[in-house]
Chain A
């Protein structure tokens, strides 16, 4: 497989469930990101990891718990979510630093989450 792969593509969960989203990249990148895309809102950055270390947390509620065991894998653990957390969750990766300044993010296809 190539690029950035996200699983599952669709997830329906109740507010008391615990579930996880998985992201895997085969691009040799060292930075990984979680973004949230809600209807009629711009993409919101949630977390950034560089070389497995979390370097940015954009004031995300603790019911979202990220995990980055290595530079190729990123998880988002979900617990006690609310209906307003229903959204498309996009994972991305990039070189940790790009001297050209471009540092293009490569995105996965997203995990569509519905919280009942």
Chain B
């Protein structure tokens, strides 16, 4: 069964610093995708970045990058040069290939301090 673990319930970071949000996953499948979403207080889940299990390079999207370590089954999100607007809940999620079900972790609440 799929499982996503985010061990950091909350994180506090100074503006302009880089931050790493942890995510580990468990699957017996060889083919899967990993996702990160941001949820501001407004409630909407905003897609940030995707990493396929067979992708050799770590995914990057602007200030977001995914530190993918397949052997360790970890997919940490790195936000460079954090901004006040980055304050939100962040969710890691996984889908096994061929499935539509996206399984989410518990989330990490990130607070950026000025």
Contact = CB atoms under 8 A, between A and B. Distances in A.
Question: Do they bind each other?
Answer: yes
Interface stretch (A11-19, A65-73, A101-109): A101-109
A45 B47 CA distance: 17
The 6 nearest A-B residue pairs measured at CB: A107-B45, A110-B43, A109-B44, A43-B104, A42-B104, A102-B50
A21 interface: no
A42 B105 contact: yes
Interface residues of B, number: 24
Nearest to B37: A107
B92 to A, nearest CB: 10
Contacts of B104: 42-43
A106 B47 contact: yes
Interface in B46-91: 46-47, 50, 52, 91
Contacts of A106: 47
A56 B101 contact: yes
Contacts of A2: none
B45 A103 contact: no
A60 to B, nearest CB: 13
A66 B35 CA distance: 26
Most A Cβ at <10 Å: residue of B42, B44, B103, B107:
B44
25 contacts: A31-B100, A42-B4, A42-B105, A45-B101, A48-B100, A48-B101, A55-B100, A56-B101, A88-B43, A90-B43, A90-B45, A94-B100, A102-B52, A103-B95, A103-B100, A104-B35, A104-B47, A106-B47, A107-B37, A107-B44, A107-B46, A108-B44, A109-B42, A109-B43, A112-B43
